[in-house]
Structure formats: C-alpha cells, structure tokens
Amino acid sequence: MDQKTIAWVSYVTLIGWIIALVTYNSSNDKSSLAKFHLRQSFGIFVTAFALYIVMFMMIFIMPFFVFIFPFIGLALLIFLILGLIAAVNGEEKPVPLLGEFYQKTFTFIS
C-alpha cells in the first residue's frame, strides 16, 4: 500500500485506522503525509470518543444537552471529510480548530 493510500484509509473507521497504522509501521518508505494523516484521524477519533462520554454524563445533569448531540456529531463528520479530502489530494492540511494540537500531541505516531 502506498503512503497516499495509507493516509486516506486512516479516516475510514477505527478499523481502517488500525490497518493504516500497521501498514505504515511495516513499510520501509515512511512518508510525512501518512504520518500526518494518521495523527489527524486518530485525534478526531479520540476527540469524538471523549466528547460523547462527556455528553452522555451531561445528559443526567442537564437534559437539554441532548439537542447538542447532532451538531457535535455533524462537526466531527465534517472534520473527517475535510481530512479525507486533504489525504486524497496529498495535502498536509490540518483539520480546523484542533489539527495543530493533534500534530503536537500524538507524537507516538512516528
């Protein structure tokens, strides 16, 4: 699998991310494009997981948070689509708001 393919596969579900990471780690030709998008997609998945846990707990405290769920889900879906488009185009373009943070935080993906 070439590095551009690894980059876009990392956005296709968590299983796709695991496949992309294993393929990236086993390849001899490690590009910055694949590493960049592995970090971005992992960051989106971690953010989604954390936000949904927080929102689930907030339902019991403030039930009106139920109305925010679709908007947060839509925002995360848009982030995934923007990252996927950048990966397919071969660009290292960070997702809005948190993209730079993901690059600095998830340095274990190298």
Domain positions in the chain: 3-105
User: What pLDDT does residue 62 have?
Assistant: 82
pLDDT, tens only, 40-97:
999 999 999 998 898 888 888 888 777 888 898 899 999 999 999 999 999 999 999 9
Handedness of CA 56, 59, 65, 68 (dihedral sign): positive
Six-digit token pair at 99? 């993209």
Q: Is residue 1 over pLDDT 80?
A: no
- pTM for this entry: 0.88
User: What pLDDT does residue 38 have?
Assistant: 95
